Amino acid sequence: MNGVRLLERGRRCGIPAFLIVLMVACGAATAAAQALVADLSSHLIAISTGFVGTEVVLFGAIDGPGEVAVVVTGPKGRVTVRKKESVGGIWMNRQSVAFDQVPSYYAVAVSSPLASLASPAVLTRHGIGVTHLPLVPAADQVVEAASLASFRAALIHEKQRDGLYGTGDGQVVFLGQRLFRTTISFPAAVATGAYSVGVFLIRDGDVVSAQTTPLIVNKIGLSAGISEVAQRQPALYGLAAVIGAFLIGWLAGSLLGRL
């Protein structure tokens, strides 16, 4: 009941909803003696026509001193990395390695430099930091350690080039001693699906509390309809694309002929 009253008062005063939720959550955390509580300003990213990317704010509180790390992971799938070599002056794909369970999106934000938070073993155990991301070859792949490192680096480089993996760590900012926040940026090419936002409380080099919050990225409007047709009726989608390209070319030729 106190939470409902606070929400009603906050709305009358014009307080943003996520701040009201944070106030309620902090009260609940104190009552339940939780070490960490966090939430997002929005749990849904809606992709419509003309989507150019967006940002989501994560906010939270801890029960005492400590550092915070935030890890955002997108839908996972298989990714094949191919290596080209020159054969008779022609560049050809000679080697390839398939990785399973590769996040389509990956970003990290920390309250202090990553190396100072915990040991590499702890960071690897929780997948905190792109260098500690568990990228494992498919079960049917036999790859030497030296080659594996090269293919793994190439995979990360490609993802970073497309803006889907962070090239550096974001910053978690403390507002006082216990409240914190960070901003998560999503590019226009972000994949749809269910995302996982993990928040870790780190003390004395170890993770003492963790929380996972879901985030959904979905298409709406015209772009959703086009995507559904492309997935369910690829032949029809391909035919429509060819006809559309033909009409655009014909129209452009007609206009140029009149000039």
Q: Quick check: 100 and 137 in contact, CB under 8 A?
A: yes
CATH number of 38-219: 2.60.40
Locate tokens 């994949």: which residue? 191
- The stretches in the chain having pLDDT less than 70 are 1-33, 84-94, 221-259
- pLDDT for residue 70: 97
Looking at residue 29, the DSSP 8-state letter turns out to be H
Q: What are phi and psi of 7, to 5 degrees?
A: -65, -45
223 burial class (0-12, 13-18, 19+ CB within 10 angstroms)? middle
Cα distances (Å, whole numbers) of residue 166 to 18, 105, 145, 204: 26, 9, 25, 26
- pLDDT for residue 29: 41
- pLDDT for residue 225: 44
How far, in Å, CA of 12 to CA of 5, rounded?
A: 11
